[in-house]
Chain A
Amino acid sequence: MNRQSRFIVSVLAFGYAFLYVPLVLVIVYSFNDSSIATVWGGFSTRWYGELLRNDQILDAALLSLRIALTSATMATILGTMAGLALARFRRFRGRTLFSGMITSPMVMPEVITGLSLLLLFVTLQQLTGWPGQRGFGTITIAHTTFSMAYVAIIVQSRLMAMDESLEEAAMDLGGHPLRVIFDITLPLIAPAMIAGWLLAFTLSLDDLVIASFVSGPGSSTLPMYIFSKVKLGVSPDINALATLIILFITVGVLLSWLVARRRA
């Protein structure tokens, strides 16, 4: 091994340790019997039991899941339409504004998105009486708005990489444009739509800042509940919750990776 590759290997080792050691330690400490989270008091699974008895966590998790399922589905529908529009309709009025609005939510700092959406909801409520109270509905709309951008980009790049000739052939043979979309285009971009849905789902489950702005009293998502607890410091039941989430996501990502690899 020469000097250059030795350097690269050590940076890689350091980098991966940097990324993973904190997560591994959270997992280790979730089995700590001591209620002082930083002192090791022997092996125990008692924090997992407490987790199951904590109704607040279960309620928050349920709300988060409902929001994530709804917003990911809406984002996939709207994002796929947007991706189709950008990739297949080369010219239409306001295209520049449209593509700007698609990519901006992805890079907008969360505090700005959250503040602006909350002010919109407050203004709408004054003018129309809707939304009467903020919670599931407003958070779902907020999550749909920022995650449809990711779906649109994934679908758009899939369409760009794809041959248009199949769709053109179907059109030439007299297929109705809408039928061509449903019979040819959508099946071809289905993998991109699934990837987009999964990303939107995860982004929704993950969001703290935007949800904190647009939710009302009484509706806490899981990240909001976790944040309110960890503000006060490290706590053992959050370690247990974090471990469950980390393991769940790791298994999910590994499985989808294996499936994708087998297909390829």
Chain B
Amino acid sequence: MYRKLIIAAPYLWLLIFFLAPFAIVLRISLADPVIAQPPYSPTYSPDSFTFLLTDKLYAITYLRSVIMAAGATLLCLALGFPMAYGIARCQPATRNMLLLLIILPFWISFLLRVYAWMGLMNNYGAINNLLMWLGIVDQPVQLMYTDFAIFVGLAYSYLPFMILPLYATLERMDLDLVEAAQDLGASRSRAFWDVTWPLARPGVIAGCLLVFIPAMGEYVIPYLLGGSESLLIGRVLFDEFFVNRDWPLASAVAVILLLLLVVPIVLLQRYQARDQEGTA
């Protein structure tokens, strides 16, 4: 009895508030937009999908989102890997402190952390002031409202998601293996690519997916830091829904975004399930 209740309560909640909504999104993506309340027809038509798939603008937007998310992921990896490696090699007391400093930004409002960059990258903000004071440039460089700003914002916001899983695998790694490889005559870089990197791979994959997946649908960062012409799919979805009030098209945008993310999401879940079993 009690057992049934413990399973049923969260199960029902998720069926109603997680699974059912997707069915509704799918249903509405197959309707026609009409001027009514709610603004979609009770009929079925594939028009929203044919429109999305034939209109070049949407293809470019999806592609741009993939490129931006992938670029930000690589940036996070390039910065996060040596950081995670360095933290894992510290004394336990320093290590805990350094880890805390990685986790802390994660607790501070995401929106405020993005906002912080608006002041920094402003034409008269800290970065431009510094560059002009150093004499590197004599006029402010346009940083805000560029793709560069979106990259920096994405990398900044999601860096902790990269470092934490990387740290978890690197910390568990047996250092003797690297030493053994070097004792046997492997060069530093050979030991890294043949020993450290393969052992760190689960963390690399988990970290990359944890950055890539949310970055794909990001709305706040492109809105606040990117230019009005730099379209990314999360923002397009939002605008189709709230500005153009085209619910079927917004739903279709969501369905295709979800299809693009199915493979990375399933991959991530498989890695996390394996990780759970590994530590149990």
Residues of A within 8 A of B (CB): 4, 7-9, 11-12, 14-16, 18-23, 25-26, 29, 37-39, 78-79, 81-82, 84-85, 89, 92, 94, 98-105, 107-112, 115-117, 119-120, 122-123, 126, 141-142, 144-145, 148, 152, 156-157, 160-161, 177-178, 181, 202, 205-206, 208-209, 223, 226-227, 230-231, 233-234, 238-239, 242, 245-246, 249-250, 252-254, 257, 261
A107 in contact with B213 given A22-B117, A157-B279 (CB within 8 Å): yes
Interface SS of chain A: helix, strand, loop or mixed? helix
CA of A123 to CA of B27 in the docked complex: distance in angstroms?
A: 11
CA of A234 to CA of B117 in the docked complex: distance in angstroms?
A: 10
A102 in contact with B111 given A11-B83, A160-B280, A231-B224 (CB within 8 Å): no
Q: Which of A18, A99, A116, A202 contacts B21 (CB 8 A)?
A: A116
From A38, which residue of chain B is reached at the shortest CB distance?
B124
Binds A, one of B6-14, B45-53, B56-64, B131-139: B6-14
In the complex, are the beta carbons of B159 and A202 less than 8 A apart?
Answer: no
Say whether B177 faces chain A, with CB atoms less than 8 Å apart. no
Give chain A residues whose Cβ lies under 8 Å from the Cβ of B237.
Answer: 111-112, 115
Q: Can you spell out 8 A-B residue pairs with CB atoms less than 8 angstroms apart?
A: A38-B122, A89-B7, A110-B217, A145-B14, A148-B10, A230-B111, A230-B115, A239-B119
Give chain A residues whose Cβ lies under 8 Å from the Cβ of B80.
Answer: 15
In the complex, are the beta carbons of A23 and B257 less than 8 A apart?
Answer: no
Residues of B within 8 A of A (CB): 2-3, 6-7, 9-11, 13-22, 24-25, 28, 38, 79-80, 82-83, 85-87, 89, 96, 98, 100-105, 107-113, 115-120, 122, 124-126, 156, 159, 188, 209-210, 213-214, 216-220, 223-224, 234, 237-238, 241, 247, 250-251, 254, 257-258, 261, 265, 268-269, 272-273, 276, 279-280
In the complex, are the beta carbons of A112 and B14 less than 8 A apart?
Answer: no
Distance in Å from the Cβ of B168 to the closest Cβ of chain A?
12
Distance in Å from the Cβ of B124 to the closest Cβ of chain A?
5
List 8 A-B pairs, minimum CB-CB distance, nearest first.
A109-B217, A116-B21, A22-B116, A82-B10, A160-B280, A8-B86, A11-B82, A120-B21
Distance in Å from the Cβ of B202 to the closest Cβ of chain A?
16
Q: A101-B15, A109-B257, A242-B109 are in contact. List 15 more A-B contacts (CB 8 A).
A: A8-B82, A12-B87, A15-B80, A15-B83, A23-B108, A29-B119, A92-B7, A100-B269, A111-B234, A119-B24, A144-B13, A144-B17, A152-B10, A246-B112, A250-B108
